[in-house]
Amino acid sequence: MKRQTVRNLIILFMFLLMPLALKFFSPVMVLRSASVGVIAASTVTIIIMFFAGMFSGRLWCGWVCPAGGIQDAVAKTYHAKDSHESLNKLKYVLFFIQIILLVAFLYLSGTVQFDYFYNMGFGLTSTLDWIVYLTMIMLFFILPITLGKRSYCRHICLIAPVMIWGQKLGRKLGIKHKVINFNEDACIHCNKCNKACPMHIDVMKNTEGKLTVSSPECITCYACVDACPKKALQ
């Protein structure tokens, strides 16, 4: 089976599990539990994703996360003009706001407890759960239509910054990650890699003078590798 088919099937499977998995990844749950002095699953996820980034870069984003998959499907159907790269910084600002609120809520609650399964239930068990779920689904549809490919991932996702920082630290510590190698001599500048990239990375520009794709936004999905007719990307 082709690599991109396998990737899309994994993501589709994860999409079906999304109502069950949402509370493990929800920024709303981070703040909701903190408001009553509880550190719960979603907060732990931030730490886990940092370590995941250290050891596997952003493989999660490319191969598992259903939020990315929905946006890929929308972007393929609706070819929106892509937003400017400078908007990518927004996610760092939002992340710091989340951390400030998290600390403030825990401080104001006057207590800090650890309860991994706080308010977990089975799937979407309250009106708030449904509001969060439907709002997220709506964003995954609206943002790629208005701001281009995976614009939620590039501009807003609060998990992306920790994975990027983890990835950088991992590289500094010498932990080997999967990288996309570039052979400039084989390249015919057909631009197919750029078109295939779900993260709107200018693969050619990114590899200029280098031997690998080095963008922190690269999710190691291999879409560029599989789209290259000359095997210039490996």
Task: Report the residue from 12, 112, 128, 188 that binds ligand SF4 according to the rule CB under 6 A.
Answer: 188
CB 49, CB 166: distance < 8 Å:
yes
Minimum separation from the CB atom of position 118 to ligand SF4 (A): 22
CB-based contacts of 186, cutoff 8 Å, min separation 6: 230, 231, 232
Burial of residue 173, with CB atoms counted within 10 A of its CB: 0-12 exposed, 13-18 middle, 19 or more buried: exposed
Cα(50)–Cα(169) distance, integer angstroms: 9
Q: How far is the CB of 82 from ligand SF4 (least distance, A)?
A: 13
Question: Is 26 near ligand SF4 (CB under 6 A)?
Answer: no
The reply to whether 162 sits near ligand SF4 by the rule CB under 6 A is no
Q: Which is nearer to ligand SF4, 32 or 192 (CB)?
A: 192
Q: Three-class SS of residue 228? A: coil
C-beta closer to ligand SF4: residue 21 or 67 = 67
Nearer to ligand SF4, 95 or 222 (CB): 222
**Residue 44 touches ligand SF4, criterion: CB under 6 A:** no
30, 124, 164, 221: residue in contact with ligand SF4 (rule CB under 6 A)? 221
Cα separation, 174 vs 54, whole angstroms:
10
CB of 229 to ligand SF4, least distance (A): 6
The stretch near ligand SF4 (CB under 6 A) out of 30-38, 76-84, 167-175, 215-223 is 215-223
CB 77 within 8 A of CB 228: no
Cβ-contact 4, 226 below 8 angstroms: yes
Distance in angstroms (rounded) separating the CA atoms of residues 29 and 21: 12
Pick from 153, 155, 161, 164 the residue near ligand SF4 by CB under 6 A. 153
Determine the Cα–Cα distance for residues 207 and 5; give it in Å rounded to an integer.
Answer: 26
Query: 52-71: which residues touch ligand SF4 (CB under 6 A)?
Result: 61, 65, 67-68
The contact set with ligand SF4 (CB under 6 A) reads 61, 65, 67-68, 152-153, 157, 159-160, 180, 187-193, 196-197, 199, 201, 203-204, 213, 218-224, 227-228, 230, 232-233
